[in-house]
Structure 1
Amino acid sequence: MASAQTPFAGLSPSCHLLLEAKAKKGLTFEKIAESINKPEVWTAAVFYGQAKPSSDDLAKLGEVLGLDQEQLKSSFGDHHMVHRGETWTWPPKDPVLYRLYEVLVVYGYSYKALIAEKFGDGIMSAIDFRTSVARKPDPKGDRVVITLDGKFLPYSSTAEGGTWTRENC
């Protein structure tokens, strides 16, 4: 069931507008994402101020949510700058967010080691990135499947024109 309740008082009025319209229409993020032809997690990220919608996305969101296009453009238009990560406190207090934090605390170095073994010295991009959440039926209780799909970015060991040295850093 959709709800106008938000987990943070620090969300912008624009985010509250989106969340209230979502609740009023009784829509899920999945339904909204299908309507605007975008990934579900990205769609939710827009509602929490963590992703930037295009003009086309805003037009589709306005249509789906019954919101004024000009109001959306004035809130999320080209001038809008996303402040990623500012909705968090560390460690998180919400139980779901804390479990995700705990996963990284417990398995973070294991992920890092496995990435190094399988790909080499580098990182997983959070920019060239896809993520999803799915429900997997299980006789012992349904499971939450979170997929993190990021491009591997190797660390560079060379500068333009040669190898990195103390002198050319």
Structure 2
Amino acid sequence: MRKTDAAELVIAARVRGGHTWADIAEAIGAPVVWTTAALLGQHPLTAEQAEKACAFLGLDDAVAESLRLRPYRGSTPEAMADPTVYRFAEALSVYGPALKELIHEEFGDGIMSAINFTVDIKRRPDPDGDRVVVTFDGKFLDYKW
């Protein structure tokens, strides 16, 4: 089974069961953002995580097998065109050069790892409308020549 097919089955089972992504993350014992990305096909689950997720969602062994496979990471053109996803690309397009300059100024010549990395999302109440707070937490990797 392709990971995209497994992801569609996971989404359908989550909605059908009235579960949140946080419910599934708790069931498999992993962070919610990572779990969501993994169940959407961006990370492999361990055999234990895949078994727990499929048991929780009532999905079969074929889905569990797919969830354990190593993915081809990245987004499809359709996903990148989604307004929510596109706004992240837009924000990085606008603020990326400034973030690069500030990272180099603070840390030196290097990059923020997207492998040794965590990401979190929170809601922050605000009188003008709730705010979305996204935290990228990546290890600094300096260039070594």
Give the TM-score normalised by the residue count of structure 2.
Answer: 0.91
CA contact (8 A) 2:44 2:71 kept: yes
Please give the root-mean-square deviation of Cα atoms over the aligned residues, in Å: 1.9
Where does 1:8-157 land on structure 2 (aligned, <5 Å)? 12-68=4-60, 70-77=61-68, 80-85=69-74, 87-89=75-77, 92-157=80-145
Q: Given residue 27 of structure 1, which amino acid in structure 2 is its aligned partner?
A: H
Q: CA deviation at 1:11?
A: 6.4
CA contact (8 A) 1:91 1:101 kept: no
**Equivalent residue of 1:92, what SS?**
helix
Q: Which structure carries more helix by proportion?
A: 2
Q: Given residue 120 of structure 2, which amino acid in structure 1 is its aligned partner?
A: S
Q: Given residue 108 of structure 1, which amino acid in structure 2 is its aligned partner?
A: G
Give the TM-score normalised by the residue count of structure 1.
Answer: 0.79
Q: CA deviation at 1:63?
A: 2.0
Q: Find the aligned partners of 1:11 and 1:94 in 2 and give their Cα distance.
A: 20
Question: Is the alpha carbon distance of 1:154 and 1:52 closer, same or farther for their aligned partners in structure 2, counting shifts above 3 Å?
Answer: same
CA contact (8 A) 2:43 2:70 kept: no
Q: 1:74-133 deviations in whole A, cap 9, x for unaligned?
A: 3233xx220101x33289321111111111110001110111011110000000000011
Consecutive aligned runs of 4 or more in structure 1 exceeding 6 Å deviation: none
Q: Find the aligned partners of 2:79 and 2:13 in 1 and give their Cα distance.
A: 30
Structure label with greater radius of gyration: 1
Q: Find the aligned partners of 1:96 and 1:20 in 2 and give their Cα distance.
A: 20
Q: Find the aligned partners of 1:32 and 1:91 in 2 and give their Cα distance.
A: 22
Q: 1:18-47 deviations in whole A, cap 9, x for unaligned?
A: 111111111111111122111111111122
The unaligned stretches of length 5 or more in structure 2 are none
